[in-house]
């Protein structure tokens, strides 16, 4: 069963939200690859892509957390490292296993991916939303003050 993106999953930062949507798409692609007869070439391709993209996403997310002065960034970073380790281990196990063991492992991986993505976004990433929104509001206020100052003092 695929994951449906919902606006309630948005953290308010377009970069992070687009990343999350892409991760949902990748996990849904993984689901398609393992439904019925498992397409192992496609599974391997999607898993490798997930490991790479997840690492890139985590870097972007952690950078944004620093900008918004997110107080839970260190524990969040540890969660990210744990997931990357797990994905790397699974990718290694997948490439070295065969037959029913491989099929069972991949079906379990599907459950992990869905639970991790949804839980991580809902449990962890959505905690960033108030900090993201505050940063956006502060930026708008600063821009407004700058425009007003330019109107009041047009020559500097």
CATH of the domain at 65: 1.20.120.50
pLDDT at 117 over 80: no
Per residue in 6-36, pLDDT (tens digit) is: 898 899 999 999 999 999 999 899 888 888 8
CA dihedral 36, 21, 72, 129 (to 10 degrees): -140
Q: Is residue 148 domain-resident?
A: no
Give the domain range for residue 31.
Answer: 12-129
Q: Is residue 136 domain-resident?
A: no
- Cβ-proximal residues to 73 (8 Å cutoff; 6+ apart), any chain: 62, 65, 66
Q: At how many degrees (to 10) do helices 73-96 and 99-119 cross? A: 160
pLDDT at 141 over 70: no
Per residue in 48-68, pLDDT (tens digit) is: 898 899 999 999 999 999 999
Q: Is residue 120 domain-resident?
A: yes
Q: Is residue 151 domain-resident?
A: no
Confidence category of residue 148, pLDDT binned at 50, 70, 90: confident
Q: Is residue 111 domain-resident?
A: yes
Please state the domain count of the chain.
1
């Amino acid at each position: 069963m695929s994951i449906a993106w919902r606006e309630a999953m948005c953290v308010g930062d377009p970069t992070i939200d687009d990343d999350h949507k892409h991760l949902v798409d990748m996990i849904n692609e993984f689901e398609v690859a393992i439904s019925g007869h498992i397409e192992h070439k496609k599974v391997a391709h999607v898993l490798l892509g997930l490991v790479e993209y997840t690492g890139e996403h985590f870097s972007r997310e952690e950078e944004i957390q620093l900008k918004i002065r997110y107080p839970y960034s260190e524990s969040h970073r540890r969660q990210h490292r744990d997931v990357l380790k797990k994905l790397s281990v699974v990718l290694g196990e997948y490439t070295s296993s065969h037959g029913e063991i491989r099929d069972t492992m991949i079906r379990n991986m599907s459950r992990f991916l869905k639970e991790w993505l949804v839980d991580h976004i809902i449990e962890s990433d959505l905690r960033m939303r108030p900090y993201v929104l505050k940063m956006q509001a502060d930026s708008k206020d600063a821009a407004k003050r700058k425009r007003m100052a330019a109107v009041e003092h047009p020559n500097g």
